Structure 1
Amino acid sequence: MTDVKDTIFDYWSRWAPNFNSAASHVKHQSAWRDVFAAAIPCPPRRSCLDLGTGTGACALALAANGHEVTGLDGAAGMLAEARRAADNQGITVTFVEGDVDQPSFPEAAFDVVSARNLFWTLPDPDRTIREITRLLRPGGIFLFSDGLWRTDAVSPASSTHDMTDYAVLRDELPYYRGLTSEHAHALLGFHGFTGVEHWEGRFPEHPYAHQAAGACPFFVITACRPA
């Protein structure tokens, strides 16, 4: 598992300087903020943890909407870009380097845990969602967004960055091709989350249509940890 994680962190660190060049959260920044504002209203101001924060897209949107946000990622290169983006936008986010499967935060420390486009990169999604459950306060909200990024009709070549080096992890990642909202519902139900709501319909246009011929299926979901 350590070798897999090291490969993942190294891959994303190397791509970090170019990652935002064609990213949905850059091209549709205001739309993402609006959707997150609807999904996680403010007030009240909430304590949020963004897992696999990458270049900080979700963390920055939540912080810009008025929440207190910590972003966690294992790729140092991604965190450098996230900190640069926060400085450029004048937004305060605490960025921490660490593994999403071993976060060094106490139990029930957060009102909200978010994970945007993280689960397709995970070797052990069940372990990660158990950590999310541990980190959320009773009744806390899990903001879960991801998509089906590769199908038989959508090859790795359609990605906005070179996936060649990542292909060696194909057999290590259960959701290597991505995941559907049905996958998400199954995970959430198995781990006891309730009150599932969908928010992807609030986008005025498909935020990932540029990545392939045809729009990739994606979802933005909130669900509650049982009180």
Structure 2
Amino acid sequence: MIMEKIKTSVKKYWNWRSKSFGYDTDKSVSLEGRWESVLRELVSGTSGRRALDIGTGTGQFAVYLARSGFDVTGIDISEEMISLARRHAMAHQLDIDFRTGDAEQPDFEDNTFDVVVSRNMLWTLPRPDKAIREWRRIMKPGGTLVVSDGLWMNTTWKRFHHLAFRVFRGIFRNGAMIPVRFFCTYANINKSLPFYEGLCFEDASRLLKTAAFNDIKSYDTSCFGENPYGAKNRTKKMAPPFFIAYARG
């Protein structure tokens, strides 16, 4: 029952957030190109062509994989995100199977996919260890997993006064309600999310090792040049560090 309430809260937030979520191209064409290039490089050694994008959001990674010749499925807990992802794929004239689904309980048979990818998903999960084990289960032996996430500084109560000031200052500005809605959603569930404040490569590596992944490595993200997530760390006035991990099943 508690888990159901958590998932419902998360779903409602991301359904609402989908209206302003956007695409990599909203930030820059070069950023989109860099993500696509990195993803193509990491999955290039995979023999099969079935790929799954978990927590697909607006379908960015799914589109990149499809353009690389993969038969792609994308899942997300948010129906509104899936709707946007379908429109995104249609705009690129790509046939991608988007469907709603739970990252911790993906509804696929064992050994289904050659590639499994996920970006900025682990921090949102109440049971990331279970999720990683499930991703290993549905991956074919020798398949490739690519996971990206970061240290997002989601400290909620510690920064309530900063939130109130920002809302007052930007109340008539586009996007001013995003931190308010985020706060209201996650204030009630953040203690149930082990990586609510974010995670680093070492955290992800431990999860992958426990789930019996092999050849776990960290990709050198300096190739991005400018951090793709901007200056969100308001304490240090710098962008939050992120990582890209990849491993074999």
State the TM-score, normalizing by the size of structure 2: 0.81
Across the aligned residues of Structure 1 and Structure 2, the Cα RMSD in angstroms comes to 2.2
**Paired residue for 2:198, among 178, 188, 196?**
178
> Aligned partners of 2:63, 2:120: CA distance in 1, in Å?
15
Deviations 1:67-87 (A, max 9, x none): 111001111011111111111
Deviations 1:1-52 (A, max 9, x none): 01110111111011101111xx556422111101111111278562111111
Equivalent residues in 2 for 1:92-107, closer than 5 Å: 92-107=95-110
The alpha-carbon deviation at position 155 of structure 1 amounts to 5.5
The alpha-carbon deviation at position 210 of structure 1 amounts to 4.1
State the TM-score, normalizing by the size of structure 1: 0.89
Counterpart code for 2:15: S
- The residue that corresponds to 1:218 in the other structure is 242
Report the count of equivalent residues: 221
Identify if the C-alpha distance between structure 1 residues 113 and 155 changes in structure 2 by more than 3 Å, giving closer, same or farther: farther
Q: Which runs of 5+ in 2 are unaligned?
A: 167-174
Identify if the C-alpha distance between structure 1 residues 43 and 187 changes in structure 2 by more than 3 Å, giving closer, same or farther: closer
- Is 1:136 equivalent to 2:156 in the alignment? no
Q: Quick one: percent identity of the two aligned structures?
A: 36
SS in 1 for 2:12: helix
- The residue that corresponds to 1:12 in the other structure is 14
Equivalent residues in 2 for 1:190-201, closer than 5 Å: 190-199=210-219, 200-201=221-222
> Aligned partners of 1:50, 1:217: CA distance in 2, in Å?
22
The alpha-carbon deviation at position 167 of structure 1 amounts to 2.5
- Is 1:86 equivalent to 2:106 in the alignment? no
Contact 2:46 2:115 in 1 (8 A): no
The alpha-carbon deviation at position 104 of structure 1 amounts to 1.7
SS in 1 for 2:8: helix
Q: Which runs of 5+ in 1 are unaligned?
A: none
